[in-house]
Amino acid sequence: MGQIILASASPRRRELLEQIGIHFEVCPAKGEEVITKKLPHEAVEELAGQKAREVAGMVKSYGASHEELVTPQDILIIGADTVVAYGDEILGKPKDEADAFRMLSMLQGKTHEVYTGVSLVLLDASGKAGELTFHEKTAVSVCSMTEQEIRRYIATGEPFDKAGGYAIQGKCAIYIDKIDGDYNNVVGLPVAAVYQKLKKLGIDLYLW
């Protein structure tokens, strides 16, 4: 059995990996996120890759400097980044209440897309690395919301650490009319795609 490392501090991503019943460690990437891409699917892949490679670098340099401590096992590092896209705009986490209000006012009564980029970095015990990066897109249709409903939702405190200012898995559920795609991709990690892409490479996440 190898080790699985989630390169993200997101409690939602951790909960999703716990939900599917795999054993993993959490080691969040700490580096500054540098976006050079304008298209949402490119931006999330870029950031997911940065996170996974940063943690892979930590693991590898640890291996180089403390060789005797390195356990001879394979390591899978999972990096991910999620954004909301509406029209030409990419929405990350709202800066403040006014920003959350602006985002929710824009999204209410409309359909937008949620993109999660995932980067899977595989290190074998000898230090060799492989990387698979992809993204998933889910369309989310939000019900019409009155100004009062938007303010009441913001008052729950949920919007502030969520891309697009809402949590589909939280109290915003009552305003989600429908989705087209993977639900967990909106929550923050498309665990089906992670499992299925690794399966195509001959890797069983449960036997890693």
- In the annotation, is 180 catalytic? no
Write the binding mask 96 to 135 for its own copies: x where contact by CB under 8 A, - elsewhere: ----------------------------------------
Catalytic-labelled residue, pool 74, 81, 177, 204: 81
Q: What CA–CA distance (Å, rounded) separates 163 from 92?
A: 4
Q: How far is the CB of 167 from its own copies (least distance, A)?
A: 10
Q: How far is the CB of 37 from its own copies (least distance, A)?
A: 25
DSSP H/E element including 115: strand 111-123
Nearer to its own copies, 34 or 174 (CB): 174
Does 28 contact its own copies by CB under 8 A? no
Nearer to its own copies, 56 or 172 (CB): 172
Q: How far is the CB of 15 from its own copies (least distance, A)?
A: 11
Q: Are the CB atoms for 35 and 47 separated by under 8 Å?
A: yes
Q: What is the DSSP string of 116-173?
A: EEEEEEEE-TTS-EEEEEEEEEEEEEEPP--HHHHHHHHHTTGGGGSGGG--TTTGGG
Quick one: residue 93, left, alpha or beta (phi over 0 = left, psi -120 to 50 = alpha)?
Answer: beta
Tell me which residues in 147-206 interact with its own copies (CB under 8 A): 152, 156, 168-171, 173-184, 191-192, 194-196, 205-206
Active site residues: 81
